[in-house]
Amino acid sequence: MIEGAQVTASGTDDGSRVDAFLLARFPSSTRALVRKALADEKVLLNNRPAAKGARVRAGDSLRILLLHERQDLRVRPDPEAPLQVVFEDDALLVLNKPPGMPVHPLRVAETGTLANALVARHPALAEIGDDPLFPALAHRLDTDTSGLVVAARTSDAYAFLRQQFRGRKVLKEYAALVRGVTPERGKLEHYLVHNPARRGQMIASREAPARKGLRPMRAVTEYRRARAFSECTLLDVIIRTGVTHQIRCQLAAAGFPIAGDALYGGPVRAGQTDLPRHFLHAASLTFQHPTTHESVRFEAPLPDDLQRVLDALR
């Protein structure tokens, strides 16, 4: 942890972004931690809180009130947390996350997450990636969404995988049970924003909201009807974008909320069966392998809790 440090920009620093300048001066920190320090106004530029996009000039003075280092926020190994490996080689691991397990901790003391399980079996992975509380993992799933998550085993593989996810090159397929009988196929296009009136919920809009302070994110979801029941439909869902709650929010906005998804108005029962959680499963991933550069596809079968729901509907 860095507290009270003071540095002065030199001529060679002139015009540098403040976050890049700080990371160069304090390499024991990370880009994510530097940005958090800036957002929390823990860095003063000439005695005023430094903005993330600010640029330093020769002679500028920067004072660090508080800047965490990577070692401060390391994920704690948790060998008791389950880890189901679908595939592994020298470059990556493909994991099948159970429902109810968060992908990564939000605090150092937290355990029981996929990241805790991962570093317990593979300690070196704690050093991969820019966020110490989100090591090696290339993407996220909601806590109650089961299914596939990819982790990198090297820094080069991590950069390659993250570039594919950010560039929307990864084909992500899900199984979802929704209320109502849907069309045979559909494509949903919205702008999603965080709901300022309800923490943790997203709002879907056909047009990008102009309200100040909202950051609209474009989301595209495609679906195909896999099986129709009397009051609900099993869907094969495909997304390339990766916006928070994308599938859940967009299907609800279309009038087909996911069964068991109370946050977005989904029914708590499917037929005569109580839903243990929202019925959403990350069933397959297709992407380019980071070392062979060949297209690879991985699948995870529907878990027992969701399969029982389907069996009861038949």
Active-site amino acid positions: 142
Q: What is the DSSP string of 73-99?
A: GPPPP-TTS---EEEE-SSEEEEEEPT
d(CA 200, CA 264): 11
Q: What six digits make up the tokens of 241?
A: 């974008």
Q: What is the 3-state secondary structure (H, E, C) of 248-298?
A: HHHHHHCCCCECCCHHHCCCCEECCEECCCCCEEEEEEEEECCCCCCEEEE
In angstroms, how far apart are the furthest CA atoms of the chain?
A: 73
Helix axis angle for 31-39 and 18-25, nearest 10°, is: 120
Strand partners for 204:
192
Q: What is the DSSP string of 97-115?
A: EPTT--SS-SSTT--SSHH
d(CA 8, CA 63): 9
Q: How many residues are listed for the chain in this entry?
A: 314
Q: What are phi and psi of 288, to 5 degrees?
A: -90, 130
d(CA 169, CA 295): 11
Q: What is the 3-state secondary structure (H, E, C) of 31-59?
A: HHHHHHHHHCCCEEECCEECCCCCECCCC
d(CA 314, CA 228): 10
